[in-house]
Structure 1
Amino acid sequence: MLKAGLIALGLLLPVPALAADATTPVREVMSVTEANWREGASEFQDVFADDRLGRLFSKDFAERYRKAAASEYAKEAGTPFSYDVIVNAQDGCALRNISITSGPARDGASEVKARFQGLTCFGSDQEYQAFTETRFRVISEGGKPVIDDIILTMDGSAFSIKSELDAIAAQ
């Protein structure tokens, strides 16, 4: 009886929105990124195009992106960034061996990791066969998972794209 009551109570309680697949927005971003880096790719797709920005990213991220996009540099370059923030590079190859995994939700967010090889066309040396990892902080807004930040690593130190957007907007 107690077990049935607990099950019934569990069905009545609201389910956290993060129960939705936190990898969904990351999969779309990675699909676009993979297409952009594909050998012979002809048409660049902007990961941060207005439709994706409003659909795949949090309101806070989108607001910061729009502020940074209004900077003089971004207006001139057409983007706030001088590199591809998803692969953390200016140059590279077609992405290989992409995997996307999600960790448990903690403090209202899930960390989704995208791992891939992005330098394999440069040679067979170990440095070109290494995997790159991009971390996405995914939260729930309006009952659906959205990317709230992108965390990259450079020289062993992690940095936030939201912080980078803030710095660009402040220039």
Structure 2
Amino acid sequence: MKKISLPLAFLLGLSAPAFAGDATAPVKEIMDATMKNWSGTDADWIDIFDDSRLTRLYSKDFVTKYQAAVQNPAADEDGISPFDYDVIVNGQDACPLQDLAYAPKPAANGTTEVVVTFKKATCMDDGSDKQAVTTVRFEVIDEAGKPVIDDVITAGDPGQPDNSLKNTMVQIAKGE
């Protein structure tokens, strides 16, 4: 296979991709684990922040904030996670996820936003809107030539701003 140098590619009117890899790849791995976690089977819970995923799928800045949050004495009692909820479904309860869809946005300022939608309450009998669609936005950046998740954004409570997982980790590290 013949390689074309970037200056030659520019002269030929070709543009270089924003990422060396697929920006949805780390998001899909996290969502696959989340789908398995809420599948309704007795499968072991998959930690989306275990060491192998943390260093491979997340940005260095995200990892630093996560590691600081884990050190906080208020971290979850299981000693595994600083969170007492699933940060992807944005809650402690969910049903098997349905109607999962990915929508990567065009890269802007070095970040590709991958919007993931799904239904998480289809089995609930507590008055939840069973057809409500949950939206999670993953901010993916290129680090060392590969796409990594730099932040996870979920919807805030009604009338409140959206939640940045990185901001939440900073607050946990401060003991807030």
- Tell me the equivalent position of 1:3: none
Cα distance in 2 for residues equivalent to 1:162 and 1:11: 41
| TM-score for both structures, normalised by structure 2 | 0.86
- In the alignment, is residue 120 of structure 1 matched against residue 122 of structure 2? yes
Cα distance in 2 for residues equivalent to 1:8 and 1:169: 46
- In the alignment, is residue 132 of structure 1 matched against residue 134 of structure 2? yes
Deviation at 1:155, TM superposition (A): 2.0
Q: Which runs of 5+ in 1 are unaligned?
A: 1-5
Deviation at 1:12, TM superposition (A): 9.7
Q: Which deviates further from its counterpart, 74-83 or 87-96?
A: 74-83
| 1:81-100 → structure 2 map (5 Å cutoff) | 81-100=83-102
- What one-letter code is carried by the residue in structure 2 that aligns with 1:144? K
Deviation at 1:76, TM superposition (A): 3.1
Identity level (%): 44
- Tell me the equivalent position of 1:168: 172
Select the structure that is richer in helix: 1
| TM-score for both structures, normalised by structure 1 | 0.88
Q: Which runs of 5+ in 2 are unaligned?
A: 1-6
Cα distance in 1 for residues equivalent to 2:155 and 2:102: 17
Cα 1:63/1:100, change in 2 over 3 Å: same
Cα 1:107/1:77, change in 2 over 3 Å: same
- What one-letter code is carried by the residue in structure 2 that aligns with 1:68? A
Cα distance in 1 for residues equivalent to 2:40 and 2:74: 29
Q: Which deviates further from its counterpart, 26-35 or 153-162?
A: 153-162
Residue number among 154, 158, 164 corresponding to 1:152 in the alignment: 154
